[in-house]
Amino acid sequence: MWGFIRHAPAWPDGGERIGEATCAVIPWPHQIRAFQRLYDHWPPRLLIADEVGLGKTIQAGLLLRQAWLAGRAKRILVLAPKAVLRQWQIELREKFNLNWPIYDGQRLCWYPSRGLQGEAQRPVDAKAWHREPCVLVSSHLMRRRDRAAELLSGAEPWDLVVLDEAHHARRGGGGLGADQRPNQLLRLMQSLRERTQGLVLLTATPMQVSPVEVWDLMALLGLPADWHLRAFLDFFEYAPAPNPSHVQLRRMADLFQAAEATYGALAEEDAMRHLPGLSRLKVRKILRALRDTASIPLKQLETAERQAAVRLMKLHTPLRALISRHTRELLRRYREAGKLKALIATRKVEDRFVEMTPAERLVYEQVEDYIGSTYDNAAADERTAVGFVMPSIAAAWPAASMH
């Protein structure tokens, strides 16, 4: 019986659900779906970008427990900001019965339990901590040059690496341009991706500054060679155009073909669902034109067909293959369909205005002037940092009128 329990997680036809069945949580449908997407395509390479509060840690925990039980991952590294490392350890212990240590730079510290018999901490040097099969460590610590070497040259390769708050791995200066250099965390991950089979990135922060940030994270997970940075930027510049030129459409079609070659062909039925106003013959014509290496079929498409072709190409990009994104609206649909019993919170925003005295108004205006003049006078390469800090100064004043 014990042999069956030990080996069952690695068996097909149900073994992949044992981690879920033996954990202390009941996952929501989208969490199970994300887990299956990760586990069924081993080794996993995925960015989980769900909205805040939708359980990204639960999805990662399901994967970690199942992969550990099944023996697929025998060396696992979790990188997270120092502020949330303890939370990660508690979540893994209480929800998934995984008591993995935190490396704090000097010690390995486990979640206290009776089974450890008072030995929840163990001093360890920089050459030995990474010999622990499963460990949690601060991404702030490991991004330091003197510590990054421990992962890149001292440690054995990993079976699975999880990076929480992955948006911190970006280009210096806020990711404002392709000419900026990667920060220390992004450089670490660019080297570490070659030393792990699986890589899972977690972030709830949408990329609103530049598509360069998105490309950097996608490149960590692995992009087709044709989807280099310039091509990536061009694709998402051409895609919103109401009627791309023949040259632009040809370039987009080349990238569509590269995506199909890497991730599989776009199913005809899938295309039909996204083009409900077109007949099957029209959809087939568009797909043939997109897959043809010659330009003539593309040039023969009518305006409406060209616009439909762009919609299909936007549907089947590396983003679809490498990003898992769920929103609260999806959870509401699950609840309406009877697949979810939990109540989904609805955000209600109210504007409340605060009347300021003349003295408060004077101080408020002086702060605004200070912020504007400081930003304008800052050097170009300093404005990103200044622009981040200055609003926080304004927010600290109680006279900031709206909440």
Instruction: Parse the chain into domains and list their residue ranges.
Output: 2-222, 233-316, 349-403
> Tokens for 127?
């050459």
Whether the per-residue pLDDT at 271 is higher than 90: the answer is: yes
The arithmetic mean of pLDDT across residues 201-218, rounded, is 82
Can you give the pLDDT at residue 378?
61
Question: pTM higher than 0.95, yes or no?
Answer: no
Per-residue pLDDT, averaged over 333-346, amounts to 84
Q: CB neighbours of 318 closer than 8 A, spacing ≥ 6?
A: 218, 223, 224, 227, 259, 262, 263
Residue 393 is predicted with a pLDDT of 42
Instruction: Place 390 in a pLDDT band, splitting at 50, 70 and 90.
Output: very low
pLDDT classification of 396: cutoffs 50, 70, 90? very low
Confidence grade of residue 78 (pLDDT, cut at 50, 70, 90): very high
**Which of these ranges, 69-83, 258-272, 365-379, has the smallest mean pLDDT?**
365-379
> In sequence order, what DSSP letters do the residues of 97-139 get, joined into one string?
----PEE-SSEEEPPP-GGGTT--EEE--TTTGGGSSEEEEEH
pLDDT of residue 376: 64
C-beta neighbour count of 368 within 10 angstroms: 13
Least confident of 116-130, 187-201, 250-264, 375-389: 375-389
Alpha-carbon distance of 156 to 232, in angstroms, equals 33
Which range (16-20, 78-82, 191-195, 392-396) has the least confidence?
Answer: 392-396
Buried b (16+ CB within 10 A) or exposed e, 301-340: beeebbebbbebbbbbbbbebbbbbbebebbeebeeeeeb
Question: Per-residue pLDDT averaged across 237-257, rounded?
Answer: 90
> CA separation (Å) from 90 to 52, 85, 101, 136?
19, 9, 11, 11
Mean pLDDT for the chain? 88
CA distance 309 to 241: 12
Best CATH choice for the domain 2-222 from the list 3.40.50.10810, 3.40.50.620, 2.60.40.10, 3.30.470.10: 3.40.50.10810
pLDDT at 9 > cutoff 70: yes
Most confident of 62-76, 321-335, 368-382: 62-76
How far apart, in whole angstroms, are the C-alpha atoms of residue 117 and residue 195? 35
Distance CA 134, CA 392 (A): 38
